[in-house]
Amino acid sequence: MFDPFIAPSGTLLGLLQRGRGDGTLHALAAPRSEALAALHHCVLSDPRHDWQVENRSLYYARLYLDLDGGVEEIERHLTDPEDHLDTEDSRTGLALSVLGHLASYGRGDALALLRRYAATGSNWAWALDELALRDDDAGLRSLAEPVLARFPDDPEGRAELAATVRDAYEPRPWRLWADDPREAVGARVRAASEQGSFDRWQRQMRPGGPRPGWSVQAVFDWARQGLERGSVLHVPAARCLAAVAGPENRAEIVEAARSGPD
């Protein structure tokens, strides 16, 4: 992901991109169309350098409410063909989180859009997590078939489904679907859940992390392999380095910090 363009701090867009409290005041004082344009820009082009440490979705959702903004621009963004070409969380995560907060405030249009995106969008898992916290049982049950249709009923698809159920951030939909009387829903989810539990037990019996005697390079390789799989391991890797590195490894660590992928 490229670093986002951040407008000057004295502009309305710059204030909103930075999440400044006075940005809300400036937005409410500006012409509504100008304020909504700046807000859409922020939500659809995530201005944060690191979404894990900058929570901006509630700030933007409240501004949508203050400006009585609709979700049409968000819908256009989520349903754009680019959604299936650029599947990075950075493209849609902030917009989905904003929709989640809007749904919490009773915005039915936001809830309906989350449901549609969970059924058809590439970042469906994020949308499903938002719905798990806010939707009713009937709404979640209606998504069982379109979500499960993403996983072919073959060995590879069943393994992928088991991993998805096992690693789900919000387990509520999967637990609900496991009780579904339909064979194509309940039985599949229960089997996936059982397989996921077995996989977790196997991983615990055969841990793949660093062991005593690992070298600094081995820790680097482990972190790099995790990054290639989509697992962010820099925090545990840093702890491992603290345990295995010595003064003689300083040059190696500095070089990795200078030229490494993360």
Tokens of 199: 């996989």
- Rounded-to-integer distance, Cα 61 and Cα 176, Å: 28
The whole model's pTM is what? Answer: 0.75
pLDDT for the residue numbered 240: 78
The tens digit of pLDDT for each residue in 3-41 reads 678 899 889 999 999 998 899 999 999 999 999 999 999
- Rounded-to-integer distance, Cα 17 and Cα 6, Å: 7
Count Cβ atoms within 10 A of the Cβ of residue 50 and give its class: 0-12 exposed, 13-18 middle, 19 or more buried: exposed
CA angle 172, 135, 162 (to 5 degrees): 30
Measuring CA to CA, which residue among 217, 225, 151 is closest to residue 188?
151
Portion of the chain with pLDDT greater than 90, in percent: 62
Question: Helix, strand, or coil here: 230?
Answer: coil
Contact 48, 4 (CB under 8 A): yes
The tens digit of pLDDT for each residue in 48-105 reads 887 777 889 999 999 999 999 999 999 999 999 999 999 999 899 999 999 999 999 9
pLDDT higher than 50, residue 1: no
Tokens of 90: 């950075």
Residues 6+ apart with CB under 8 A from 218: 210
- Rounded-to-integer distance, Cα 243 and Cα 240, Å: 5
Tokens of 97: 């989180």
